[in-house]
């Protein structure tokens, strides 16, 4: 019977761990989105300051070019994190199902022991 209790605790731990990982991914995505918005605001400011909004113009501000590249890189990272989030959500669902099965078996065993 101890083995089932250990299995339930293990599955419960796995559920909490997957939830933590999912939460971290969501926080990273939110932070990257905030950073992207900040960069976009800085780009607009630099373009207004220089009067040049065409990135291919020879006098386009260097800072705006670098900020634009950084914002693009962050968008790529956000898309990759979204794919990781989708995979983590599926893994969480699987672990939750395994936990539910293990908990049900433990409940059944406990009920059987109490009747005997």
pLDDT tens for the chain, residues 1 to 116: 577 788 899 999 999 999 999 999 999 999 999 999 999 999 999 999 999 999 999 999 999 999 999 999 999 999 999 999 999 999 999 999 999 999 998 888 878 777 76
- Give the contacts of 54 (CB within 8 A, at least 6 positions apart): 60
Collapsing DSSP to helix, strand or coil, 51 comes out as coil
Find the length of the chain: 116
Q: What is the distance between the alpha carbons of residues 98 and 1, in angstroms, rounded to a whole number?
A: 18
- Give the contacts of 53 (CB within 8 A, at least 6 positions apart): 47
> What was the pLDDT predicted at 33?
98
> What was the pLDDT predicted at 110?
79
> What was the pLDDT predicted at 4?
76
> What was the pLDDT predicted at 116?
66
| Model-wide pTM > 0.85 | no
> What was the pLDDT predicted at 51?
95
């Amino acid at each position: 019977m101890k083995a089932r209790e250990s299995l339930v605790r293990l599955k419960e731990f796995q559920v909490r761990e997957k939830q933590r990982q999912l939460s971290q991914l969501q926080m990273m995505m939110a932070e990257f989105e905030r950073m992207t918005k900040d960069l976009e605001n800085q780009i607009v400011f630099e373009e207004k300051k220089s009067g040049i909004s065409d990135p291919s113009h020879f006098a386009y501000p260097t800072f705006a070019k670098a900020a634009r590249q950084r914002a693009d890189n962050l968008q790529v990272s956000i898309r990759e994190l979204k794919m990781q989030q989708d995979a983590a959500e599926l893994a969480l669902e699987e672990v939750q199902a395994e936990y539910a099965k293990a908990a049900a078996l433990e409940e059944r065993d406990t009920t059987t022991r109490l009747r005997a």
